[in-house]
Chain A
Amino acid sequence: MDITVTVNGKTHDRLDDEDGPGESLLFLLRERLGLIGPKNACEQGECGSCAVWLDGVLVNSCLVLSAQADGCSVRTVEGLASDTAGPLETSGASRVPGTSGALHPVQQAFLDTGAVQCGFCTPGMVVTATDLLERLPRPSDAEVRREMAGNLCRCTGYQQIVEAVLLAAERMAGPASPEVGRP
């Protein structure tokens, strides 16, 4: 069967999955398209390391049959940085290694709060955090912990990750009055 999928804006035509029909979207992204951002840590939807957007919906790519992604648009952690408009000098954001792009505010916040140690959970955390902030721009500490409970980290004890999400929220939304953003 042939699969056509658009990943981070680039369309990949007629990817042949004859070798492994039944393979996951994670496998397709990593092994066929060479995108190493989505990570394989459990392959059963219990860790969130492989989180991506499938047609704008946050999913664990290990639980998506690659055939189900046919004709879909996928956005991975690699597609985040280009979202940020504006020159580097004014945004204060770090550069994406090997490119001229600037990091997304969520990525930058992860650096600024020391939320990264081994970093294996980080791509999934960044994607999940960005998804959360798109739905809930000013979450509380407890809301971050509840909404991101599907992403495991073994190094950090989570606190600096939560701080990163809250910092990114503040930077993206601007300081909010207590009423704003609380449904």
Chain B
Amino acid sequence: MQVLRPQSWHEALAARSELPGATPVAGGTDVMVAMKLRHFRPEVLLDLSRVSGSERYRIGPDSVHCGPRVCHTTVAERLHRQLPGLALAAGSVGSRQVRNRGTIGGNLGTASPAGDLHPMLLAAGADVELSSVRGSRWVPADGFYRDGGGTVLGADELITAVRVPLAAGPQRFQKIGRRQGLVKSLCSFALTLDRGQRRIRAAVGAYGAAPVRLLAAEQLIEESRVLYGAGTLPAALVAEFGRLAATATTPVEEGAEAGYRRRALAVLAARNLTQAWAMFLAEGHDGHHRDGQRQDP
């Protein structure tokens, strides 16, 4: 096994182009596990941990531009005002030790079904920069994940940046698992409301083969035009939102497990819509409020 250690994106992309079979590794929290437990033996590892600047982020007027090696701890603790939803998702990852190593780019690159950031990246409308020696392209998160699993990342491409729009309203993320600590997701749900545009985006992760937007459920809310009002959400509308969310995609498992996930998704969707709406209505709420950090038990 060979380990390549490029110091710059230029070197990294050149190496990626020459050795498309090389496995990129950033924080190692997925790749190392695969090597230890699943007997994954790549011939070449492309260690991105030395690419200068790849661990930095820049807060712009409309979005946060993250290097792919921005770790979960950084997102959770330094970007919670700008990206409250993504901060919640990043803070829910594994343990402190894993959050210190695991990166936003790594989470996207391995696209593990249990990856915690995916639904929030979808709901937040993030874009991913994919680069190769041929050049760079920006792909919206919506177009990044392939339906049956995996991503559109080309064999000669690397994820070189992630751009996440600043929150424009309440954001909710909730992940459930059997444990309270080191939670392995049974289902995760993300929702954003855009105060100015009166738009909703919702997505689910750790559910089907790929994380997906819940378009029918979003459409229900947008067509109901409740987001233009200031009253209580009708209970029937919330319930229907949950039901539509749960029918948008199919869990990977079958039997009792699948039935459970479907129900859980409906519950998470309805609950988080209600809570986001309460945040939306809250006086003086600007979408950056720390209430966005609250999690239900």
Contact surface of A with B, Cβ cutoff 8 Å: 1, 21-22, 24, 43-46, 48, 51, 57-60, 62-65, 67-68, 70, 128, 131-132, 145-151
Q: Indicate if the CB atoms of A43 and B36 lie closer than 8 Å.
A: yes
A94 to chain B, nearest CB (A): 27
Tally of B interface residues using CB under 8 Å: 29
Complex-state Cα separation, A65 to B31, whole angstroms: 9
Complex-state Cα separation, A79 to B11, whole angstroms: 36
Contacts of A70 in B (CB 8 A): 5
Q: Which of A22, A44, A68, A132 contacts B37 (CB 8 A)?
A: A44
Contacts of A151 in B (CB 8 A): 95
B88 to chain A, nearest CB (A): 14
Complex-state Cα separation, A5 to B88, whole angstroms: 34
Q: Indicate if the CB atoms of B32 and A65 lie closer than 8 Å.
A: yes
Complex-state Cα separation, A148 to B35, whole angstroms: 26
Contacts of B42 in A (CB 8 A): 22
Contacts of A131 in B (CB 8 A): 96
Counting from the closest, the 4 A-B pairs by CB-CB distance are A150-B95, A149-B181, A22-B1, A67-B3
* 12 further contact pairs, Cβ within 8 A, besides A22-B35, A150-B181: A45-B29, A57-B101, A62-B36, A63-B32, A64-B101, A67-B5, A68-B25, A128-B97, A149-B95, A149-B182, A150-B97, A150-B98
Q: Indicate if the CB atoms of B2 and A59 lie closer than 8 Å.
A: no
Q: Is B94 interfacial (CB-CB < 8 Å)?
A: yes
Contacts of B41 in A (CB 8 A): 22
CB-CB contacts of B1-35 with A at 8 A, as 1s and 0s? 11101000000000000000000010111011101
Task: Say what secondary structure dominates the interface of chain A.
Answer: mixed
Interface centre among B2, B37, B42, B101 (most CB of A within 10 A): B101
A136 to chain B, nearest CB (A): 11
B285 to chain A, nearest CB (A): 22
21 A-B pairs in the complex with CB atoms less than 8 angstroms apart:
A21-B2, A21-B3, A43-B33, A44-B33, A45-B29, A45-B33, A45-B98, A46-B182, A48-B97, A58-B100, A60-B95, A60-B101, A63-B29, A67-B45, A68-B28, A68-B47, A132-B96, A149-B180, A149-B181, A150-B94, A150-B98
Complex-state Cα separation, A132 to B73, whole angstroms: 13
Q: Is B249 interfacial (CB-CB < 8 Å)?
A: no
Q: Indicate if the CB atoms of A68 and B49 lie closer than 8 Å.
A: yes
Contacts of B29 in A (CB 8 A): 45, 63
Complex-state Cα separation, A150 to B28, whole angstroms: 17
Complex-state Cα separation, A51 to B41, whole angstroms: 24
Give B183's nearest chain A residue, CB to CB.
A149
Contacts of B100 in A (CB 8 A): 57-59
Q: Indicate if the CB atoms of A65 and B96 lie closer than 8 Å.
A: no
Q: Indicate if the CB atoms of A65 and B181 lie closer than 8 Å.
A: no
B81 to chain A, nearest CB (A): 14
A26 to chain B, nearest CB (A): 10
Q: Indicate if the CB atoms of B97 and A45 lie closer than 8 Å.
A: yes
Complex-state Cα separation, A43 to B32, whole angstroms: 9
Contacts of B37 in A (CB 8 A): 43-44
Give A71's nearest chain B residue, CB to CB.
B50
Give A51's nearest chain B residue, CB to CB.
B97
Complex-state Cα separation, A24 to B37, whole angstroms: 13
Q: Indicate if the CB atoms of A60 and B97 lie closer than 8 Å.
A: yes
Contacts of B101 in A (CB 8 A): 57, 59-60, 63-64
Contacts of B33 in A (CB 8 A): 43-45, 63
Give B40's nearest chain A residue, CB to CB.
A22
Complex-state Cα separation, A157 to B28, whole angstroms: 30
Interface centre among A44, A132, A146 (most CB of B within 10 A): A44
CB-CB contacts of B41-77 with A at 8 A, as 1s and 0s? 1100101010000000000000000000000000000
Give B180's nearest chain A residue, CB to CB.
A149
Given contacts A43-B36, A44-B33, whether A150 and B3 have CB atoms under 8 Å apart is no
Contacts of A46 in B (CB 8 A): 182
Q: Indicate if the CB atoms of B97 and A65 lie closer than 8 Å.
A: no
Give B95's nearest chain A residue, CB to CB.
A150
Complex-state Cα separation, A62 to B95, whole angstroms: 14
B105 to chain A, nearest CB (A): 15
Give B97's nearest chain A residue, CB to CB.
A60
Contacts of A48 in B (CB 8 A): 95, 97
Q: Which of B3, B97, B180 contacts A1 (CB 8 A)?
A: B3
Q: Indicate if the CB atoms of B182 and A65 lie closer than 8 Å.
A: no
Q: Indicate if the CB atoms of A146 and B97 lie closer than 8 Å.
A: no
